[in-house]
Structure 1
């Protein structure tokens, strides 16, 4: 397992130090990560995530730090998910969402404050350690996600607008 995830293993401690994470979270890779997500991941967006940060419904031994799950050997994903671990350890307010924030997160995941910070940090870190090819790929992924979420948002507003126009025509 270590050989397969050598890129991530190489940068794991460096990212933790760069983020100044106080307590190293548990990090699962590959099949172990998938299994952990299947057992404890109550809300994982997307059918095939590259990684995830879990903090709810996990074993008590991980509650203070959360758990980082890395499925794809990607320094960008590791940096992104470790950024969430840092956010969680420093201030859990964004992670303990009320109904409004849960709805906002579901429809606008890409624009959620913790995601903006994690995407930005991962891209910055890749450039800092001169992984320029991965940084460019990650930047493309960010643009793709932004377009997808903007299309979803536009579709919802079109449907709401049509519904509103229909209701106005009936009254």
Structure 2
């Protein structure tokens, strides 16, 4: 298991990984699927390329040999880091790759960016995923934000009540 920062040549592999972890029947091989909540895309090449190119953003990769098995985006914000675009190959979920990548992102936020905390948003209907983050030290804030209905770049909702909750963890 090794980590590195993604570059432009990694865009296709990242899009494929994120899509496979969250959408369609392939995502059902893992436990992080959103297939019952959303159809359509989770990300696209333009969004991933923008995340890689943004000066206050990195996309971390967790590699098993040459294979990209997990990814996550970290954005530097005022006093904290935002973590998103987190995905683990469905066939390798429960193998520690996601937990290791999350820990590496937290280390980077603290040591390279001097961030005091890491924040993320999670779909409130994802109880099992929220519990996974809580076991890793994240706390629910009660801050709820709406799902971007009508913006199919983030998927096509299968239900009308989707929303995000902000989770936070002190890292410094």
Common fold: TM-score over 0.5: no
Larger radius of gyration: 1
What's the TM-score once normalised by structure 2's chain length? 0.32
User: Which structure is higher in RCO with an 8 Å CA cutoff and minimum separation 6?
Assistant: 2
Higher strand proportion (structure 1 or 2)? 2
Scaled by the length of structure 1, what TM-score is found?
0.32
